[in-house]
Structure 1
């Protein structure tokens, strides 16, 4: 089932068709593509990372066959066991102009293409944000039983609200609640970098963060960029972190090796492994990914011992500075829990990220719908029951 075997879908003004990885990457790197703020989960390389999923690449525009694109989509297709049907997933995609009131012109052709490829249902992750909260406001609102959504947001994105209304009107529904049901984090933490100097970034850290960075320096912690050879140590530390903090990503060393190889083959330096060493020992290891003018802190791991020398704080400060030097507009620290209750174990992660002085962004979340047809609706209900049992 190759994307290149599927025919183009021609609308009145927009043509959607399978595209090559080279054409897709060229669009993402172009000014038009960068204006849509694509994430790394919509890069062609991500299709090589996810085992068990078959990637399809689509582009739409006036002449996609000539590389004239206005949008793009990486679709991951997973076969439903015992059938010839597939679940189609667009992680944090498609890369499109969600402010366009005529979304049917590009969304409907995409659904038709996926139906012809054997999909029974589709999940998407629209780019527009919904709400934004300042770190200071959330820190002040911390208390028993409180959640981020109990606090008045600093900003509500009208595009995000309109996109939600448009999707609901077209038969889409939100996946799960605030945090359950989405494969990607519903709430993320971002540090704005555009227009700020390194001194302003330093001043944005709270006192505890600045104190911890200074202590790490005094204790002789050093930060370096690692290589693929250091991934086994990163994975070992990640297992320690999962046990300590009570979560499990369940990803193998091979997963991270595949990710590192695929992303850096697509663009050298796209994925970087940072290490914090103390007395010759690696105490923390964090991964960073960049696409255009966006940078993500993806995964962090640290040892249980010598935590008092604060290796993770110094490592994050190094990564923030490097993201700024790369010209990034934002440093995205990925998911945070929605709890503001200090008694809940998950709150520690939010508290740590709040110390950087950034902001919590509630994304538009993930949306699903079965494709037209009685059989597809029945498969979708069975699929939902299967997920509920898992």
Structure 2
């Protein structure tokens, strides 16, 4: 019923970009970038009896240390219609052939399919023999990709996009747009600046950061075909001065109008409030002038890597300086990246994994709080699955090896004590 086709890279990527279930992690460009971390890949495509292309898959493989085997990982699953159960079965059969050829002990998939739309696909994968890892939390370390992500609908004009944000966030974005920062698309040479910001962010928030070679590999493989851009935010002192002066002029005009009013307690209160605001602005103007002297060419405050694949956009990595945070550079950057992604054809903007509604004392609360204000909705996916090819090796690699590694860590900790 189905036959294998041989597609070139351009044809393979085109199908993924245009398919409803296509994903960045299935692109050849993404697979090429993973070679740096020890993965290699193979691809296949299936067509029906009329030679119409129905599905493609990029299979990542990684050798398991000390074992003569590999793990086959089809990140974000086959790119096909998961409601077509016969097609999914055919895709699995083809994947098994390739995986066995690479001595894989298992095939791991984690399709980007909403659970509320694909319950039939979840049950069908189980029927086909896949082992379901359950409905893990979005920040669980037990899965490769997060099962829960926060996604914003960006298929709308600027006014409606801004209106979709939570009220307080709309105010912050509007303020950020006029505070004196500019968002621009940077080049490969600016990755060093971005990595420096990442280190600063990691030290502040307590996480380990990656070496520049990792980001260079991603950029070199994804950027040439339009699948990645580096954004930076620069604080422009002259713009800050101009913005403050504009606000001072407005205050002065309001004070002139207030003085013309007849004497009253309300008038006095208004003038007192305006005077306080005026003094604050004078201080801000002094700060802006000092900033101009210290950084005449401006200063980089934030950066992010934005990925694109067809109708989807992904906020992959973000970083920011500890300085001048009151200028809200991240708010300016997020809004501009959404606009850019939409203008490139994206309909959704994925903020990545999140723990849904965590307790306030949770380490994940701040991340949830930041991501939920951008008009996002939780995307609950059907989860991660394993198709076991060699059970003894699967047990060794998935159960025994992790336990052994944990034991080594604990033993080393005890020795240090």
Task: Give the alignment's TM-score, normalised by structure 2.
Answer: 0.76
User: 1:306 corresponds to which residue?
Assistant: 324
User: 2:218 corresponds to which residue?
Assistant: 259
Q: CA deviation at 1:16?
A: 3.4
Residue 99 of structure 2: which of 114, 117, 122 is its match?
114
User: 2:401 corresponds to which residue?
Assistant: 386
Q: CA deviation at 1:197?
A: 2.0
Aligned length: 337
User: 1:85 corresponds to which residue?
Assistant: 69
Residue 242 of structure 1: which of 196, 202, 206 is its match?
202
1:20·1:57 contact (CA, 8 Å) conserved in 2?
no
1:56·1:76 contact (CA, 8 Å) conserved in 2?
yes
User: 1:27 corresponds to which residue?
Assistant: 15
Query: What is the CA–CA distance in structure 2 between the aligned matches of 1:53 and 1:212, rounded to whole Å?
Result: 42
RMSD over aligned Cα, in angstroms?
2.0
User: 1:54 corresponds to which residue?
Assistant: 40
Query: What is the CA–CA distance in structure 2 between the aligned matches of 1:365 and 1:247, rounded to whole Å?
Result: 25
Residue 356 of structure 1: which of 371, 374, 396 is its match?
374
Task: Give the alignment's TM-score, normalised by structure 1.
Answer: 0.81
The reply to whether residue 188 of structure 1 matches residue 152 of structure 2 is no
The reply to whether residue 166 of structure 1 matches residue 124 of structure 2 is yes
The reply to whether residue 343 of structure 1 matches residue 369 of structure 2 is no
Q: CA deviation at 1:340?
A: 2.7
Structure with bigger gyration radius: 2
1:14·1:106 contact (CA, 8 Å) conserved in 2?
no
Query: What is the CA–CA distance in structure 1 between the aligned matches of 2:386 and 2:102, rounded to whole Å?
Result: 17
Q: CA deviation at 1:296?
A: 1.2
Please give the secondary structure, in 2, of the residue aligned with 1:341. Answer: coil
Query: What is the CA–CA distance in structure 2 between the aligned matches of 1:119 and 1:84, rounded to whole Å?
Result: 9
Residue 330 of structure 1: which of 343, 348, 359 is its match?
348
Query: What is the CA–CA distance in structure 2 between the aligned matches of 1:241 and 1:349, rounded to whole Å?
Result: 14
Please give the secondary structure, in 2, of the residue aligned with 1:45. Answer: helix
2:32·2:221 contact (CA, 8 Å) conserved in 1?
yes
Query: What is the CA–CA distance in structure 2 between the aligned matches of 1:327 and 1:270, rounded to whole Å?
Result: 12
Q: CA deviation at 1:334?
A: 1.5
